[in-house]
Structure 1
Amino acid sequence: MSCAHAPVSYEQEVAAGRGEKDAAFKSGQDSPIPAAERAGFAGLSYFDIDPSFRVAAALAETEMSTRVIEMDTTDGTRQRMRVIGTLAFTLGGERRALTAYVPETSRDARRLFVPFRDATNRAETYGGGRYLDLERSSIGIYDLDFNRAYNPFCVYDTQYVCPLPPPENTLPLGIKAGEKMPRGKTMSFGGSGVREFGGSTVAGSRR
């Protein structure tokens, strides 16, 4: 007689991923948590898992894949991003859209970078916005799961330089899903802009 494992639910899968990230941040070699703070690190702060913030999104790719913008960063410099297209989806009963990018210098175009801001910024989440990473889809339909939204590394250590979401990636509602501001942190950040020119995870790079 063999024993079969019960299927893992969506909520269990997300919770397991959060636990793995907490462990990596506390003791991982590439943790963005400053070494002096790791002993007291008690895990990241999250909104409760809410399946209503997981939606299907259709990507309309740009006709000119060479379109590049300069995205503002937290230290006042700009990072060049290639515009891949627009993700269209329904959330909160309304049609929404977010632009997806790939860093111009990235060798891994299989992952899309989706930075965004929303109405929780400054009050419950980082003022400079949060990020989503999406694996490229061959059919153009994406699992846009805000429960997996994460903070830039500069939230934990100001030695990191992080891209700021451009104005068009601002959602006019509160995304109460994903990572919140870390416990004890009150960091916020101001405006954002881009200048237009003719994959890996973009969590931030050290100065």
Structure 2
Amino acid sequence: MQKRNILIIGILLVIGLAIMYTLTATDNEDVYVENIQKERDRQYKFLRFNIESPLEEAQRKELKELDYYPIDINYRVRAKMVPVEDRKMIELPMTDGSVEKYLKHSFAEFELNGQKQRLLLLQAAKESDKRVFFLAFADGTSGEETYGGGRYINLRQDGKNSISIDFNLAYNPYCAYNPDFACPLPPKENILEIAIRAGEKDYKK
């Protein structure tokens, strides 16, 4: 199968509800957990039944469930957005050796488990909504409990200088399911030493 690049706009269409749940975060933990579970069920149904699924037909038939960490509200954080001083387009390496252009936009600064963290927020070159960002990250679980090429979260700015990040919504790129897809690798700024035990685990065939 010919290798295909995953455009961020396509990913947003596929997991658009993830943004909605981030934006409508609730203080009611039961409702919050229910929303995350609904999103996970939607992701499973897309991979299992949708014609645009990255899974081959045999994989789709065998897919019974996706593997996730337990939902933990402590992995939903509020981050301060700090503009990048040298804001410019960068070429992010892809899993097939090619590159894709993104705007190096802002740093999201937050605390997680009592530790200060900082992640680089990117914006696709063709993104028309200037409040939408792409977060690709790797952490202490990558290559062991989670996909070695990192995981993604799609974000939409929901404050003047702040943004909500919910690691329970972290998901695998298409290349985690099918190597015929080419996916952006996390920038060096987003390789964390800590283990983010939230969101989707590695796909097991």
Which category describes the TM-score, using the shorter chain as reference length? 0.7 to 0.9
Unaligned residue ranges in structure 2 (runs of 5+): 1-27
Counterpart contact for 2:158–2:164, Cα < 8 Å: no
Cα deviation, residue 41, structure 1 = 1.0
The reply on whether 1:54 has 2:56 as its aligned counterpart is: no
- Out of 152, 167, 174, the residue aligned to residue 146 of structure 1 is 167
Residue 42 (structure 2) pairs with residue 20 (structure 1)? yes
SS in structure 2 at match of 1:86: strand
Q: Secondary structure at the match of 1:100?
A: strand
Give the secondary structure class of the aligned counterpart of 2:62. coil
After superposition, the Cα gap between the structure-2 partners of 1:80 and 1:16, relative to the gap in structure 1 and judged at 3 Å, is same
Bigger mean CA deviation after superposition, 108-117 or 122-131: 108-117
Which residue identity does 2:200 align to in structure 1? E
Does residue 103 (structure 1) correspond to residue 124 (structure 2)? The answer is yes
**Which of 91, 97, 100 is equivalent to 1:79?**
100
Whole-Å separation in 2 of the counterparts to 1:154 and 1:84: 25
* CA RMSD in angstroms, aligned pairs only: 1.7
How big is each residue's C-alpha offset from its partner over 1:89-137, in whole Å with a ceiling of 9 and x where there is no partner?
0012111100000121333433200111100011100111111110133
The one-letter amino acid paired with 1:42 is K
Give me the whole-angstrom Cα distance separating, in 1, the residues matched to 2:162 and 2:96.
Answer: 34
Residue 180 of structure 2 aligns with which residue? 159
More helix per residue: 2
Partner AA of 2:161 in structure 1: G
Q: Is it true that 1:33 corresponds to 2:55 in the alignment?
A: yes
SS in 2 for 1:157: coil
Query: How big is the shift at 1:70?
Result: 1.1
Residue 90 of structure 2 is matched in structure 1 by: 69
Who wins on radius of gyration, i.e. which is larger?
Answer: 1
Kept in 1: contact 2:111–2:117 (CA 8 A): yes
Q: TM-score, normalised by structure 2?
A: 0.81
> Aligned residue for 1:131?
152
The corresponding residue for 2:4 is none
Cα deviation, 1:42-68, whole Å, max 9, x if unaligned, reads 121101101111111111123454x11
What amino acid sits opposite 1:58 in the alignment?
A: K
Q: Which amino acid aligns with 1:133?
A: N
Q: Which amino acid aligns with 1:74?
A: T
Q: 1:95 to 1:38 in 2, by over 3 A?
A: same
Partner SS, residue 168 of structure 2: helix
Aligned counterpart, 1:122: 143
Gaps of 5+ in 1: 1-5, 185-207
Q: Deviations over 1:122-180 (max 9, x none)?
A: 11001111111101334122111100001110011111110000111111111000000
**Percent of pairs with identical residues:** 34
Helix, strand or coil at the partner of 2:35:
helix
